[in-house]
C-alpha cells in the first residue's frame, strides 16, 4: 500500500492505524477515506492481524470531521456519492470480523465521531470531545452518524446531539454510553493495548461470531435474533477452537486458539 494520510504499524497480531494529518486535526478528506478502505481491506485479509487499534496523530484530535475545503465543492450527486463512499468504508470496518478499538485522543467530531462509532470498542482520553455538529454547516451527518449514534445512545439523546450540534466531553460521552471507558491522556495508549491484549487471548472465531450476531440481530425481533444466535452457537460447536477452549478450561491451562 502506498499511504500518505494513514500510518499502519503491524506487530504482535495488532494493526495500529493512525490518522496522520495533524496539521488539519486529522480531517477526513477523500484521500484519507480511500486509504482507510485499503487499510481495512488489508487487515481483513491478513491472518496475522487479530485486532485493529485506531487513533489520531498528535494530541489535539482523533479526527475533527470531514475536510471542509472539499465539502464546498459538492453538488447533490457528488455529495450523495461522497456520503455513500464513507458509509461503505465505515461499514467495512464494522463488519471486518476482527475487533477494532478506537483510542480517541482528542476531538472526534462529525466524520471523526462517525469513524469512532464504527469501531467495536471506544476508549477516550479525558481530553476527548465528541459531537455531530454538521447542522452548523447546513448539512447532516453523512457517514451513518444518525444511525449509529441512535443505536448507541438511544433516539432521544441522538436527536438532541444531532439537532443542537453540541460538543460533549469524555465524561458525558461515558455517561450516555458513547464510550465505554475514559482514562487520563497519558494512559490512553496503554488502556487500548490492554483491551487489545485481552481480545487477542479470546477465540477469533468466537469474536467474529459474537460481533456478527450482535450486529445483525440488533434490528431483528427477539425470536429471530435468538434463532440467529443459536445457529451461530451451533456452528462454533463444530470448531477446533471450541474443543481447545473447553479442554483448556477443564485442564486449567491457557487455551491456544488457532481460528479453526
Question: Which residue is catalytic, options 134, 172, 187, 256?
Answer: 134
Determine whether 114 is an active site residue: yes
Question: Which residue is catalytic, options 114, 172, 194, 244?
Answer: 114
Nearest residue to 177 (alpha-carbon basis) of 124, 137, 132 = 124
Give CA separation, 168 vs 8, 109, 119, 183, in Å: 29, 10, 19, 16
Determine whether 172 is an active site residue: no
The whole-angstrom separation of Cα 47 and Cα 176 is 35
Following CA atoms 232, 233, 239, 242 in sequence, which dihedral angle do they give, to the nearest 10 degrees? 150
Q: DSSP of 143-202, one letter per residue?
A: SSHHHHHHHHH-HHHHHHHHHH--EEEHHHHHHHTS-SEEE-GGGHHHHHHHHHHHHHTS
The whole-angstrom separation of Cα 142 and Cα 72 is 15
Q: Indicate which residues carry an active-site annotation.
A: 114, 134
Amino acid at each position: 500500500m502506498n499511504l500518505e494520510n494513514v500510518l499502519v504499524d503491524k506487530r504482535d497480531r495488532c494493526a495500529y492505524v493512525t490518522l496522520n494529518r495533524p496539521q488539519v486535526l486529522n480531517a477526513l478528506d477523500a484521500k484519507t477515506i480511500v486509504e482507510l478502505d485499503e487499510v481495512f481491506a488489508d487487515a481483513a485479509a491478513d491472518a496475522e492481524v487479530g485486532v485493529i487499534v485506531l487513533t489520531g496523530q498528535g494530541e489535539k484530535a482523533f479526527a475533527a470531521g470531514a475536510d471542509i475545503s472539499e465539502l464546498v465543492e459538492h453538488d447533490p450527486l457528488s455529495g450523495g456519492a461522497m456520503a455513500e463512499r464513507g458509509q461503505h468504508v465505515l461499514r467495512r470496518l464494522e463488519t471486518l470480523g476482527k475487533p477494532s478499538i478506537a483510542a480517541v485522543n482528542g476531538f472526534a467530531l462529525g466524520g471523526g465521531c462517525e469513524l469512532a462509532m464504527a469501531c467495536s470498542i471506544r476508549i477516550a482520553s479525558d481530553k476527548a470531545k465528541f459531537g455531530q455538529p454538521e447542522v452548523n454547516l447546513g448539512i447532516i451527518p453523512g457517514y451513518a452518524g444518525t444511525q449509529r449514534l441512535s443505536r448507541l445512545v438511544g433516539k432521544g439523546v441522538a436527536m438532541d446531539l444531532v439537532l443542537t450540534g453540541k460538543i460533549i466531553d469524555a465524561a458525558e460521552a461515558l455517561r450516555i454510553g458513547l464510550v465505554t471507558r475514559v482514562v487520563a491522556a497519558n494512559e490512553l495508549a496503554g488502556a487500548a493495548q490492554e483491551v487489545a491484549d485481552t481480545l487477542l487471548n479470546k477465540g477469533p472465531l468466537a469474536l467474529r461470531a459474537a460481533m456478527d450476531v450482535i450486529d445483525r440481530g440488533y434490528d431483528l425481533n427477539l425470536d429471530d435474533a435468538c434463532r440467529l444466535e443459536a445457529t451461530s452457537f451451533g456452528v462454533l460447536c463444530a470448531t477446533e477452537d471450541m474443543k481447545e477452549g473447553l479442554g483448556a478450561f477443564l485442564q486449567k491451562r491457557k487455551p491456544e486458539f488457532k481460528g479453526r
